Amino acid sequence: MKMRIPLAKPEITDADREAVMEVLRTPNLSSGPKVQEFEQAICDYAGSKHAVAVNSGTSALQIAVRSLGLDAGAEVILPSFTFSALLNVILQEGPRPKFVDIDPESYNTTPELIAAAITEDTQLVIAVHTFGIPADVPGIISAISSLSRAGRPRHTIQVIEDACEALGTEVEGRKAGILGDAGLFAFYPNKQITTGEGGVLVTSDERLARQARILRNQGRDPTLSWEDHAEIGFSYRLSDMNCALGISQLKRLEYVTEKRQHLAESYDRRLQGIADLVRPPLSSVIGRISWFLYPVRLSDRFTRADRDWICDSLASEGIATGRYFAPLHRQPVLRNCGVTTTELPNTESVADRVIALPFFNELTEAEVEQVCSELEDSIHKWLRKT
Ligand SMILES: Cc1ncc(COP(=O)(O)O)c(C=O)c1O
C-alpha cells in the first residue's frame, strides 16, 4: 500500500547526484579512488585509525566476527532486542549466541546485564547503540576488564560495537563505533546517511583491518600476486558510486543529526499529553543521541495484538509505522539450530508494544502533527472498542 507518510525516506540532494555522476564519467566504478576517499572520510569523522568499506552493515559484522578468530564452542553475548542481521551472522559464523535483556528506558543492554551473562566460554560481546541512543560501551568494557582481573573468564573477551543505527551518536565525548575492538556503521536508505547499500568496519587494530580487507575481496591478500587465493573470502566490496554518495552525504551529517534531534523534540512536545504512550528520552547522560528512528511505546495494558491493531489503523490513514524489533531469542530459526534461550521480560514487553513513527530528514512539522493526531485518534478508537 502506498503510504501518504512513509516510515523513512532518504534525502538526496543535487550535490549527491552530481557526486555519483562524476564517478560514472570515469572508468573507475569499483575498487577505485572513491573507496579510499570514503574510508578516509569515515576515519576523519569518527576518529578511527582504519575503515574498511563493504556492501552492507551485515557484511561488516560478518568480516569483523570472522577476523576476530573465535575458538570453536565460543559464546557470543548480544541483546535480543535488535536487528536480525546479528543473529544471521552469528549462526553462519558458528559461535553460540547468548541473549541478554535491555533497559526499557534506553532500549539498550547494560554493563550489569552483560557482566551477569558472561561465562567461561564467552569470547565476544556485541554492544548495540539501539535507535542511535548511546549504549554504555565504556561501562561494558570496564565490567569485562574487572571480571578478567578477577580471573574470570578464561578467554579474552572482545567487543564489537554495532553502531549501524548510530552514525553521529557520541559516548562520553567520543564517536560511537570506535570504542571496542571493531565498530560497524550501515548506510541503507533508512539510516542517518545513505550509500544506497553499504557498511563500514572501523578499528584501531592494524591486523584486523588488513584481515577485513582480504576477506571483503574474495580472500585475496594484496601482498601476494592477484592470482593467489590466500583465504576463504567474500565478495563484499562497495562500489565507487556508493562511496561517492557516502562522501557527499557525510558532509551533511552534523546538519542531519541536529535536524533529527529537532524532529524528535517536535514529536515529544506533541505526544506529551497522551497518557498511554511512553516517549523515548530526548537526551542521554552518557552522550549524544543521533536518531535513527523515533520509537514510542504503548503502556502495559496494551498487548501485541492491540499494538498491531493501532499500526493497521494508522496504515489505513496512509501513515507507515515500524514494529522494531522482533526479539531474536524468539525467532523460529533458533529451533533448528539447537540454541536454547531464556525469557527476557523487558525485551518481550518492549517488543510487543513499540511503534516506530515516520522519521526522516524532510519530515515536516505538519506531517509530525498529522502522525500524532492519527496516533491519538487510533488509541482512542481502540479504547472505545474495548
Ligand atoms: C543494529 C544493526 N546491525 C546491523 C545492521 C545491518 O545493516 P545492513 O542492513 O546494512 O546489512 C542493521 C541494519 O539496519 C542494524 O540495525
Number of Cβ within 10 Å of residue 189's Cβ equals 15
User: How far, in Å, from the CA of 275 to the mean position of ligand 1?
Assistant: 32
Sole residue written with cell 562520553: 172
Give burial (CB, 10 Å; 0-12/13-18/19+) of 138: middle
* Ligand 1 pocket, residue 57 CB under 6 Å: yes
Atom of ligand 1 nearest to the CA of 191: 14
pLDDT score recorded for residue 385: 87
What pLDDT is recorded for position 318? 97
Which helix H or strand E contains 174, and what residues bound it?
Answer: strand 174-175
343: DSSP letter? -
Is the CB–ligand 1 distance for residue 199 below 6 Å? yes
Give the pLDDT of residue 109: 98
Ligand 1 centroid–CA 226 distance in Å is 31
Confirm or reject: Cβ of 188 under 6 Å from ligand 1.
yes
Q: Specify the residue for cell string 561465562.
A: 119
| Residues forming beta bridges with residue 319, ordered by sequence position | 5
Residue 255 C-beta-side C-alpha neighbours within 13 Å: 9
> Running DSSP on this structure, what letter comes out for residue 197?
S
User: What does the DSSP 8-state code read for residue 143?
Assistant: H
**Ligand 1 neighbourhood includes 234 CB (under 6 angstroms):** no
The rounded distance, in Å, linking the Cα atoms of 292 and 309 is 24
Task: Give 2: exposed, middle or buried? Use CB within 10 Å, 0-12, 13-18, 19+.
Answer: exposed
Count CB-CB contacts under 10 A for residue 175: 24
End-to-end alpha carbon distance in the chain? 28
* Closest C-alpha among 124, 126, 131 to residue 192: 131
Q: State if residue 87 touches ligand 1 by the CB under 6 angstroms criterion.
A: no
Residue 256, phi then psi, degrees to nearest 5: -65, -45
328: closest CA among 23, 31, 47, 91?
91
The angle that helices 365-385 and 304-316 make with each other, rounded to 10 degrees, is: 130
Query: Is the distance from the beta carbon of residue 56 to the nearest atom of ligand 1 less than 6 Å?
Result: yes
Binding site membership of 161 for ligand 1 (Cβ less than 6 Å) = no
Strand partners, 298: 277
Q: Give how far Cα 202 sits from Cα of 110, 210, 252, 254, Å.
A: 23, 11, 20, 20
Nearest CA to 39 out of 234, 200, 209 is that of 200
Question: In the chain, what are the domain boundaries?
Answer: 14-250, 253-385
CATH architecture label of 14-250: 3-Layer(aba) Sandwich (3.40)
The residue whose C-alpha atom lies closest to atom 5 belonging to ligand 1 is 57
Rounded to the nearest 5°, which phi and psi values hold at 208?
A: -65, -45
Strand order in the sheet with 170-171: 174-175, 170-171, 287-288
Ligand 1 near 128 CB (within 6 A): yes
SS3 377: helix
Domains 14-250 and 253-385 share a fold: no
What is the Cα Rg of the chain in Å? 21
Mutate to test the pocket of ligand 1, among 55, 65, 80, 83 (most ligand atoms within 8 A of CB): 83
Determine the 3-state secondary structure of 296 from DSSP.
Answer: strand
Largest distance between two CA atoms of the chain: 72
CA of 186 to the centre of ligand 1 (A): 6
Q: Please give the distance, rounded to the nearest whole angstrom, from the Cα atom of residue 75 to the centre of ligand 1.
A: 21
Q: What are phi and psi of 201, to 5 degrees?
A: -100, 130
Distance 204 CA to ligand 1 centre (A): 21
Residue 165 alpha carbon to ligand 1 centre in Å: 7
**What's the CA gap between 302 and 28, in Å, rounded?**
54
Residue type, 89: V
Residue 199, Cβ density class (10 Å: 0-12 exposed, 13-18 middle, ≥19 buried): buried
Q: List, run by run, the mean pLDDT of 10-residue segments along the chain (386 residues).
A: 92 98 98 98 98 98 97 95 98 96 98 96 97 98 90 84 98 98 98 98 98 96 84 97 98 98 98 95 98 98 97 97 96 89 96 98 98 97 90
253-385, superfamily in CATH?
Aspartate Aminotransferase, domain 1 (3.90.1150.10)
Grid coordinates given for 24? 560514472
Is there an atom of ligand 1 within 6 Å of 83 CB? yes
